[in-house]
Amino acid sequence: MTVNRKRIKSRPAAVLIGFMGAGKSTVGKLVAELLGVDFVDADEEIVRVVGRSIPEIFAEDGAPAFRDIERRVVLDLLTRGGVVSLGGGAVMTTAIADALAEHRVVYLSIDPAEGYARAQGSDRPLLAGEDPETRYRELLNERHDTYAGLATVAVDAGAGSAEQVADAVVAALADYLIPERNFP
Ligand SMILES: Nc1ncnc2c1ncn2[C@@H]1O[C@H](COP(=O)(O)OP(=O)(O)OP(=O)(O)O)[C@@H](O)[C@H]1O
Ligand SMILES: O=C(O)C1=C[C@@H](O)[C@@H](O)[C@H](O)C1
Ligand SMILES: [Mg+2]
């Protein structure tokens, strides 16, 4: 799926979005290797800047404080090069969604059963409640249209290994990586 856009900034090469467990961190690193550019994961950058884990930030400061830090970190990362993978909820922050309109955005879509199987048992704070599988499905439903609406290209992250998904991302991005073809 492609979305027409007026103009795409030259940097970063690509910004990966999608729900928890889709593989943004894993596939983003592989895409960067294929393109020969740097990789940065926004969640890891938040942990580095704050000096605490994401569950600690949620527990000690609360979700709004996490989103505030995330907004500042992500808006900064969008001014740099390479491949940037965002946290699963970053697109729900209006300033981030607005900024993404000018970038090459890859939506890694994932079937809820497969995504939950990958994400379960981890320390993701939004899945820490009573019925994490139901919560996973609800949140994915809430966010799907936002992810899809921001996508320059969408790639099925459940179709094959992380390496195969990374190959599919590079193939899907090919036209958009050539500046003259940024206006398909
Ligand atoms: N294509 C794939 N096939 C099988 N397993 C995968 C694939 N891609 C990623 N995984 C595995 O799924 C799990 C979640 O991947 P990853 O942490 O990259 O997701 P994420 O989208 O970054 O999630 P979050 O939004 O929570 O940061 C990891 O254990 C990873 O190894
Ligand atoms: O989906 C979400 O809202 C989140 C996903 C993770 O990447 C982290 O950014 C955090 O756990 C929140
Ligand atoms: Mg991640």
Tens-place pLDDT, residues 147-162? 999 999 999 999 899 9
Strands 14-17, 153-156: pairing kind: unpaired
What integer best gives the mean pLDDT of the chain?
91
Residue carrying structure tokens 């992380």 = 162
The predicted structure's pLDDT at residue 17:
98
The predicted structure's pLDDT at residue 99:
96
pTM of the model: 0.93
Residues having C-beta closer than 5 Å to ion ligand 3: 24-25
Q: Which ipTM value was assigned to this complex?
A: 0.97
Q: Ligand 1: does its nearest atom lie under 6 Å from the Cβ of 115?
A: no
Residue 184 has pLDDT above 50, yes or no: no
CA-based Rg of the chain, rounded to a whole angstrom?
16
Which residues lie closer than 8 Å to 184 by C-beta, 6 or more apart? 2, 4, 175, 176
Residue 108 has pLDDT above 90, yes or no: yes
7 annotated among ligand-binding-site residues: no
Q: Ligand 1: does its nearest atom lie under 6 Å from the Cβ of 120?
A: no
* pLDDT tens column, 50-94: 999 999 999 999 999 999 999 999 999 999 989 999 999 999 999
The predicted structure's pLDDT at residue 126:
80
> What's the fold here for domain 14-175?
Rossmann fold (3.40.50)
Burial of 80 (0-12, 13-18, 19+ CB in 10 A): exposed
* pLDDT tens column, 123-180: 777 877 788 899 999 999 999 999 999 999 999 999 899 999 999 999 999 888 765 5
Query: Where are the chain's structural domains?
Result: 14-175
18 annotated among ligand-binding-site residues: no
